[in-house]
Amino acid sequence: MNVRIEASWKDALNSEWDKDYFIALTGFVRERYGQRIVYPPAGLIFAAFDACPFENVKVVILGQDPYPGAGQANGLSFSVNPGVELPRSLRNIYKELEDDLGCLPPSTGDLSGWARQGVLLLNSTLTVDAGAPASHQNHGWETFTDAAIRRLAEDRENLVFILWGSYAQRKGEFIDRSRHCVIASPHPSPLSASRGFFGSRPFSRANAYLASKGVEPIIWGRG
């Protein structure tokens, strides 16, 4: 199957394209886009991979679903386009960033600057019906994104995996902690941020680990 995705990821995930689950997933997604409003726009389904080639990945931040509101989802987990009001989880991420590093967060909700530095902003499910969270779960995306995480965990060394919430933590259970840094905390959602997300210092911890391995840290904010 010819999948339009960044070349290094196309090669890394080559074994997935012709599997039965991915063929069925492709049919499901095409049908959904043809029948209703689906986010993100079809050209941005693989935006996280396109923005962060396989060999450039330093940090992985796992999300669950794309935002289901109009104009929100742009293919990067937790990110929204410039001019879009910050979702509550992203507001909490920015609050923790400021408390952690003492820097101003990005000037908009667009996290593509992180992605260009090597932060893979990966949702578990890459598409969603408008206004219907979790509507595309259990149709194959989870198997596909598990394969992407597994390729990173097995083929790369010294990555940082930031797992916010129990869902992301279950998804990352197989990551070898002796080869990679895993930073786990409650989710930044308003329902759970006060239970341990605030004060977890994921950004400074990620940078400290990268620096300890001789890897250029991420510039998370504006100084």
Q: Annotated catalytic sites, by residue?
A: 65
In whole angstroms, what is the distance from residue 90 CA to residue 136 CA? Answer: 22
Q: What is the DSSP string of 177-216?
A: TTTSEEEEE--SSTTTGGGTTTT--HHHHHHHHHHHTT-P
User: In this structure, which amino acid lies at residue 168?
Assistant: A
In whole angstroms, what is the distance from residue 185 CA to residue 199 CA? Answer: 10
The H-or-E segment that residue 162 falls in is strand 160-164
CA angle 165, 190, 38 (to 5 degrees): 75
